[in-house]
């Protein structure tokens, strides 16, 4: 039995004449979806598998599909004769373009067998001479395959060998997903043995020394594994010492190591190539000169055996000396190796004559954490889930390690500047490199997966959101969350009411919640307050509306923030919550402070027209009645209308307060959404409201408390009391209440699905400004009760789930593009057309 070793991800080209049994072989060993057959593609593009004139188009299509499969990391088998160099060159090119290994499997059967099989097939009409030519091509192919670029060439000779062959998949060298750590990933050492020893000790390793007292291994009591990102050698005082220790750790299974460009260059020198002794190689060579030949030989073998990058911990961690872009993770090709060793350069050189490196990390959007070295910086910095650990120890900086999965940095300072840098160590840029977003992060039809579900954002919604986001919204770094839309309670059937608490409670009972909090619905505008103790990563913070616009703009937003900051400080929340920033969900009162224009344009205008028209109508009707005309019924209706317009006017006037700047403005916080490293979505509303109360106590003149009732839904008396409370709130013109699951924002049903975070139950009088002055009329109310809430509820939940994910992303300090993607999606959901009265 012949065993064919094939990499798990490869492009497998079957090579053989017509009738050699390629399709049969492919069927036996691979899934149908893995096999791309030239016959099938000819049929696909020309309705005829034997139409040779369609071959060009058929192969174009085949190469395209093969390319897509390889990009997606799928093993792909090409079932075609592949007898001519140009045909194989096309496949090699596709494999190279996606950095997978091309493999050839040659099926070589005697020509007579092939001819017999050909003749037995009705759809093969070519003559014997064609087969003979193929056979000649096959003979000539043998010697060429490896040279053409096939990394493995398997030849199966004769029917029996083909029949008996088995496939065995082999992992790529870089695939160490089974290693789950925990790891201590160490930055560029450059011969700084002393600092490396100190760092390993600091990390908790015990050093093992040889008879000469030289460290040859280090062991962590908790079984942690050290990972070296390369550049162990050159420039520093003791490259052999570093090599001895690392080689010992790797040999003992206590460390793994990827090579750096300096190891690569050293290897070439050790192999006798003509390499210039620059960039510290001279020092290494001098140090190695006093080592025995056996050590030099060991070093050569060690470096030669290093794999340019590793994929670790189930694919969640990638280590490469100069970093690695996502498309190259777990791939194998010359350019992948080159990227891992040297990074990507722009082809330019800087003023110090050093190559300008392309900031690949800025574009990185992968989910795997990439840890690397290579580029010395004063402080390691997270950029889109990647981090460079080279802190220039040999240049007098420090030697840094990253504890994984803890994401903790541990460093020891350099003993001295061992080597003068060619250019000063500066941070990559004044601004964080990941503050720049790409249009591709947000536009087009997008599928989003997050911890609370998945979602597809239609392209047109994203397009609409793009306009709002880029023209009106805050900068993405400070726009960390947007409030989800809120569905009203199911439509009430209580006489004269469209919305009633009974229905809100019934909705939550049905969803499986047993305890709710009823919060007064403030008559203001939603305001999200991000407040920082002192200007830092959020430049002090921001106040924004439900669509992400700065609330008032400067300077009022700054003054407002200052008041919130003072109250948080006075309430002692910074220390208590262990944070230097807080994200608060609030309502800003009165509504006219922000929506004065809307109230005047939209609501007051209607009132003015009604209040002027109806008295004139009534006067006319009264005069007609005076003449004995039968207008009684009409007059009655018009009098009702007049009363409704008065009630409507009272409803909007309740939202008007006289304000001047912040004078007359108050803020009603009702949830504390997040602080440094934490989302408070798991805290119950008792906790949230207690903190809100403390802010009110700290700044009673600026903060408005939120009145509420906690209701056990099984307790009929409590339900009745809450209903009465709502009736009294709303009779006085109040907007109503929001009912929320007491357990908090992330409350779930007994079945485990997210509950609506809140259901609004709006007052009968208030709804006049939503549904029209006369909506309570029996005819109208009956029509309005047919309203459908499904879409609104669906959106509310979708946006809520995105919001929870955004809070988590904020707490985890996820890359900006990810945080923004979630917030952007909430805004995109908002451009979905729904009945604005809901």
Partner 1 sequence: MLLTLTTTHRPATDLGHLLVKHPDRVQSFDLPAGAAHVLYPEADEARCTAALLVEVDPLKLGGGRRRQAATPDSFTLGQYVNDRPYAASSLLSSALAKVFRSALRGESRDRPELAATAIPLEVRVPVLRCRGGADLAVRVFGPLGWAVAATPIPLDEAYPEWGDSRYVDLTLTGTLRLADALNHLYVLLPVLDDAKHYWVAPDEVDKLLRAGAGWLADHPERGLITRRYLAHRRALAGTALARLAELRLTDEPPADDSVEGGPATGDGAGSAPSAETPRASLAVRRREAVLTALRASGASRVLDLGCGGGALLAALVADRRFTEVVGTDVSSQALTLAARRLRLDRLPERQRDRIRLWQSALTYRDDRLRGYDAAVLMEVVEHLDPPRLPALEDAVFGHARPGTVMVTTPNVEYNVRYEGLGAGRFRHADHRFEWTRAEFAAWVERVATTYGYTATISGIGDHDPEVGAPTQLAVLTSTETGTRKEETTR
Hey, which residues between 382 and 441 contact partner 1 (CB under 8 A)?
Answer: 431, 436-441
Q: Which residue has the tokens 């994200």?
A: 583
- Closer Cβ to partner 1, 694 or 760, answer by number: 760
One of 2, 140, 454, 470 touching partner 1 (CB under 8 A): 470
Report the SS3 class of residue 667. strand
How many residues contact partner 1, by CB under 8 A?
71
- State how far the Cα of 652 lies from the Cα of 644, in Å rounded to an integer: 12
One of 5, 170, 379, 467 touching partner 1 (CB under 8 A): 467
What Cα–Cα distance (Å) separates residue 731 from each residue in 25, 257, 749, 771?
81, 73, 33, 17
* CB half-sphere exposure, 605, CA atoms < 13 A: 7
- Closer Cβ to partner 1, 32 or 353, answer by number: 353
Q: Are strands 255-257 and 225-228 parallel, antiparallel or unpaired?
A: parallel
Within 623-642, which residues bind partner 1 (CB under 8 A)?
623-624, 626-627, 629-631, 634, 637-638, 641
- Closer Cβ to partner 1, 143 or 779, answer by number: 779
Stretch that binds partner 1, among 119-127, 389-397, 470-478, 750-758 (CB under 8 A): 470-478
Measured at the CA of 720, the angle between CA 719 and CA 726, to 5 degrees, comes to 90
- Closer Cβ to partner 1, 131 or 834, answer by number: 834
Where does 742-795 show beta strands of DSSP type E? 759-762
Phi/psi for 555 (5° steps) reads -95, -5
- Closer Cβ to partner 1, 213 or 597, answer by number: 597
- Closer Cβ to partner 1, 249 or 473, answer by number: 473
Within 772-801, which residues bind partner 1 (CB under 8 A)?
772-775, 779-780, 783
Alpha helices in 281-400 (DSSP H): 281-289, 293-304, 334-342, 360-363
DSSP bridge pairs for 320: 309
Nearest to 821 by CA among 802, 808, 804: 802
- Contact code string over 226-265 relative to partner 1, x by CB under 8 A: ----------------------------------------
What torsion, rounded to 10 degrees, do the Cα atoms 247, 250, 254, 260 define? 90
- Closer Cβ to partner 1, 89 or 629, answer by number: 629
* CB half-sphere exposure, 317, CA atoms < 13 A: 24
Decide: is 736 part of the binding site for partner 1 (CB under 8 A). no
- State how far the Cα of 836 lies from the Cα of 481, in Å rounded to an integer: 22
- State how far the Cα of 20 lies from the Cα of 110, in Å rounded to an integer: 8
- Closer Cβ to partner 1, 38 or 461, answer by number: 461
Contact (Cβ atoms closer than 8 angstroms) between residue 383 and residue 390? no
Stretch that binds partner 1, among 13-21, 98-106, 294-302, 645-653 (CB under 8 A): 645-653
Closest approach of partner 1 to the CB of residue 405, in Å: 31
Decide: is 522 part of the binding site for partner 1 (CB under 8 A). no
- Closer Cβ to partner 1, 291 or 381, answer by number: 381
Closest approach of partner 1 to the CB of residue 654, in Å: 11
Report the SS3 class of residue 170. strand
Within 474-503, which residues bind partner 1 (CB under 8 A)?
474-475
Residue 837 Rama label (left phi>0; alpha psi -120 to 50; beta): alpha
Question: Residue 41 is encoded by which pair of tokens?
Answer: 């593609």
Closest approach of partner 1 to the CB of residue 45, in Å: 24
What Cα–Cα distance (Å) separates residue 663 from each residue in 235, 464, 660, 677, 701?
65, 35, 5, 35, 10
Where does 644-720 show beta strands of DSSP type E? 666-675, 678-679, 708-712
Within 89-118, which residues bind partner 1 (CB under 8 A)?
none
- Contact code string over 339-358 relative to partner 1, x by CB under 8 A: --------xx----------
- Closer Cβ to partner 1, 340 or 442, answer by number: 442
**How is residue 658 annotated by DSSP?**
-
Question: Residue 486 is encoded by which pair of tokens?
Answer: 């809120």
Decide: is 769 part of the binding site for partner 1 (CB under 8 A). yes
Decide: is 443 part of the binding site for partner 1 (CB under 8 A). yes
Closest approach of partner 1 to the CB of residue 605, in Å: 6
- Contact code string over 37-76 relative to partner 1, x by CB under 8 A: ----------------------------------------
- Closer Cβ to partner 1, 622 or 712, answer by number: 622
Within 738-767, which residues bind partner 1 (CB under 8 A)?
none
DSSP bridge pairs for 530: 542, 583
**How is residue 703 annotated by DSSP?**
B
Closest approach of partner 1 to the CB of residue 832, in Å: 8
- Closer Cβ to partner 1, 475 or 712, answer by number: 475
Contact (Cβ atoms closer than 8 angstroms) between residue 694 and residue 571? yes
- Closer Cβ to partner 1, 354 or 619, answer by number: 619
Closest approach of partner 1 to the CB of residue 443, in Å: 7
Closest approach of partner 1 to the CB of residue 370, in Å: 20
- Contact code string over 602-621 relative to partner 1, x by CB under 8 A: xxxxxxxxx-xxx-xx-xxx
Closest approach of partner 1 to the CB of residue 776, in Å: 12
- Closer Cβ to partner 1, 615 or 677, answer by number: 615
Closest approach of partner 1 to the CB of residue 656, in Å: 7
- Contact code string over 564-603 relative to partner 1, x by CB under 8 A: ------------------------------------x-xx
Contact (Cβ atoms closer than 8 angstroms) between residue 659 and residue 592? yes
Across the beta sheet with 541-544, what order do the strands follow? 541-544, 525-532, 581-589, 666-675, 678-679
**Which H, E and C letters describe 190-207, residue by residue?**
CCCHHHHHHHHHHCCCEE
Contact (Cβ atoms closer than 8 angstroms) between residue 114 and residue 63? no
Decide: is 835 part of the binding site for partner 1 (CB under 8 A). yes
Stretch that binds partner 1, among 29-37, 158-166, 368-376, 464-472 (CB under 8 A): 464-472
Question: Residue 73 is encoded by which pair of tokens?
Answer: 């990391």
Alpha helices in 281-399 (DSSP H): 281-289, 293-304, 334-342, 360-363
Closest approach of partner 1 to the CB of residue 633, in Å: 10
Decide: is 445 part of the binding site for partner 1 (CB under 8 A). no
Contact (Cβ atoms closer than 8 angstroms) between residue 653 and residue 599? no
Closest approach of partner 1 to the CB of residue 788, in Å: 9
- Closer Cβ to partner 1, 257 or 527, answer by number: 527
Question: Residue 731 is encoded by which pair of tokens?
Answer: 């009779």
Phi/psi for 452 (5° steps) reads -110, 10
Closest approach of partner 1 to the CB of residue 439, in Å: 4
* 257 burial via Cβ count (<10 Å: 0-12, 13-18, 19+): buried
Decide: is 663 part of the binding site for partner 1 (CB under 8 A). no
- Closer Cβ to partner 1, 493 or 602, answer by number: 602
- Closer Cβ to partner 1, 182 or 558, answer by number: 558
Stretch that binds partner 1, among 23-31, 112-120, 410-418, 471-479 (CB under 8 A): 471-479
- State how far the Cα of 709 lies from the Cα of 718, in Å rounded to an integer: 9
Closest approach of partner 1 to the CB of residue 612, in Å: 5
Question: Residue 812 is encoded by which pair of tokens?
Answer: 């985890």
- Closer Cβ to partner 1, 610 or 803, answer by number: 610
What Cα–Cα distance (Å) separates residue 618 from each residue in 18, 382, 607, 631?
97, 73, 16, 10
Stretch that binds partner 1, among 32-40, 282-290, 314-322, 771-779 (CB under 8 A): 771-779
Closest approach of partner 1 to the CB of residue 541, in Å: 13
């Amino acid at each position: 039995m012949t065993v064919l070793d094939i990499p798990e991800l490869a492009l497998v080209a079957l090579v053989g004449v017509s009738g050699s049994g390629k399709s049969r072989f492919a069927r036996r060993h691979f899934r149908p979806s893995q096999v791309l057959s030239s016959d099938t593609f000819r049929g696909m593009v020309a309705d005829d598998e034997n139409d040779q004139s369609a071959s060009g188009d058929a192969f174009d299509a085949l190469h395209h599909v093969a390319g897509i499969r390889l990009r997606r990391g799928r093993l792909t088998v090409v079932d075609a004769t592949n007898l001519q160099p140009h045909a194989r060159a096309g496949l090699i090119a596709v494999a190279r373009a996606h950095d997978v290994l091309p493999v050839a499997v040659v099926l070589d059967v005697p020509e007579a067998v092939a001819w017999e099989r050909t003749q037995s097939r009705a759809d093969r009409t070519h003559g014997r001479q064609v087969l003979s030519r193929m056979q000649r091509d096959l003979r000539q192919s043998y010697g060429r395959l490896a040279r053409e670029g096939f990394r493995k060439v398997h030849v199966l000779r004769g029917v029996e060998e083909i029949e008996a062959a088995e496939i065995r998949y082999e992992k790529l060298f870089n695939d160490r997903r089974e290693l789950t750590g925990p790891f201590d990933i160490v930055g560029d050492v450059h011969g700084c043995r002393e600092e490396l020893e100190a760092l390993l000790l600091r990390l908790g390793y015990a050093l093992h020394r040889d008879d000469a007292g030289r460290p040859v291994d280090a062991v962590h009591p908790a079984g942690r594994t050290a990972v070296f990102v390369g550049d162990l050698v050159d420039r520093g005082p003791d490259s052999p010492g570093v090599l001895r220790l690392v080689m010992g750790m790797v040999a003992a299974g206590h460390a793994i190591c990827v090579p750096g460009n300096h190891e690569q260059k050293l290897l070439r020198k050790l192999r006798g190539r003509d390499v210039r002794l620059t960039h510290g190689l001279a020092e290494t060579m001098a140090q190695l000169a006093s080592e025995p030949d056996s050590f030099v030989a060991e070093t050569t073998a060690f470096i030669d055996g290093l794999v340019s990058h590793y994929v670790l911990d189930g694919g969640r961690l990638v280590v490469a000396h100069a970093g690695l872009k996502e498309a190259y993770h777990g791939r194998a090709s010359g350019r992948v190796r080159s990227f891992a060793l040297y990074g990507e350069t722009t082809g330019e050189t800087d003023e110090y004559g050093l190559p300008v490196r392309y900031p690949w990390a800025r574009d990185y959007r992968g989910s795997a954490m990439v840890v690397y070295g290579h580029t010395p910086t004063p402080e390691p910095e997270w950029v889109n889930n990647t981090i460079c650990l080279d802190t220039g120890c040999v240049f007098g900086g420090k030697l840094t390690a990253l504890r994984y999965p803890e994401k903790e940095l541990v460093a020891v300072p350099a003993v001295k500047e061992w080597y003068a840098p060619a250019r000063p160590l500066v941070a990559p840029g004044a601004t964080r490199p990941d503050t720049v977003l790409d249009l591709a992060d947000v536009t087009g039809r997008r599928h989003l997966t997050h911890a609370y579900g998945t979602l597809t954002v239609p392209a047109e919604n994203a397009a609409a959101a793009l306009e709002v986001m880029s023209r009106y919204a805050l900068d993405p770094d400070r726009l960390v969350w947007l409030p989800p839309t809120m569905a009203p309670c199911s439509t009430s059937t209580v006489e004269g009411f469209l919305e009633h608490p009974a229905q809100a409670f019934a909705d939550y009972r049905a969803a499986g919640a047993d305890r709710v909090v009823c919060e007064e619905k403030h008559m203001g505008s939603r305001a999200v307050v991000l407040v920082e103790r002192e200007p830092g990563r959020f430049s002090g913070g921001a106040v924004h509306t439900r669509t992400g616009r700065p609330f008032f703009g400067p300077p009022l937003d700054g003054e407002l923030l200052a008041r919130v900051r003072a109250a948080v400080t006075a309430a002692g929340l910074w220390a208590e919550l262990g944070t230097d920033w807080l994200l608060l969900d609030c309502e800003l009162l009165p509504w006219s402070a922000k929506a004065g224009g809307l109230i005047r344009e939209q609501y007051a205008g209607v009132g003015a027209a009604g209040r002027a028209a109806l008295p004139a109508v009534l006067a006319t009707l009264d005069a007609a009645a005076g003449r004995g005309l039968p207008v009684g019924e009409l007059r009655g209706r018009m009098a009702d209308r007049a009363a409704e317009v008065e009630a409507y006017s009272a409803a909007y006037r309740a939202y008007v307060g006289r304000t001047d700047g912040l004078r007359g403005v108050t803020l009603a916080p009702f949830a504390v959404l997040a602080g440094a490293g934490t989302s408070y979505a798991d805290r119950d509303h008792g906790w949230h409201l207690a903190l809100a109360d403390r802010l009110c106590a700290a700044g009673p003149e600026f903060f408005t408390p939120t009145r509420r009732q906690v209701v056990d839904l099984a307790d009929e008396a409590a339900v009745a009391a809450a209903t009465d409370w709502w009736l009294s709130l709303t009779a006085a013109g109040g907007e109503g209440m929001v009912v929320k699951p007491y357990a908090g924002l992330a409350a779930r049903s007994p079945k485990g699905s997210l509950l609506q975070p809140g259901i609004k139950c709006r007052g009968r009088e208030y709804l006049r400004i939503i549904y029209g002055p006369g909506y309570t009329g029996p005819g109208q109310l009956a029509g309005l009760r047919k309203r459908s809430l499904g879409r609104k509820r669906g959106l509310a939940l979708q946006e809520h789930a995105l919001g929870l994910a955004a809070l988590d992303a904020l707490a985890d300090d996820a890359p900006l593009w990810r945080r923004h993607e979630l917030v952007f999606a909430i805004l995109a959901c908002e451009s979905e057309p729904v009945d604005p009265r809901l």
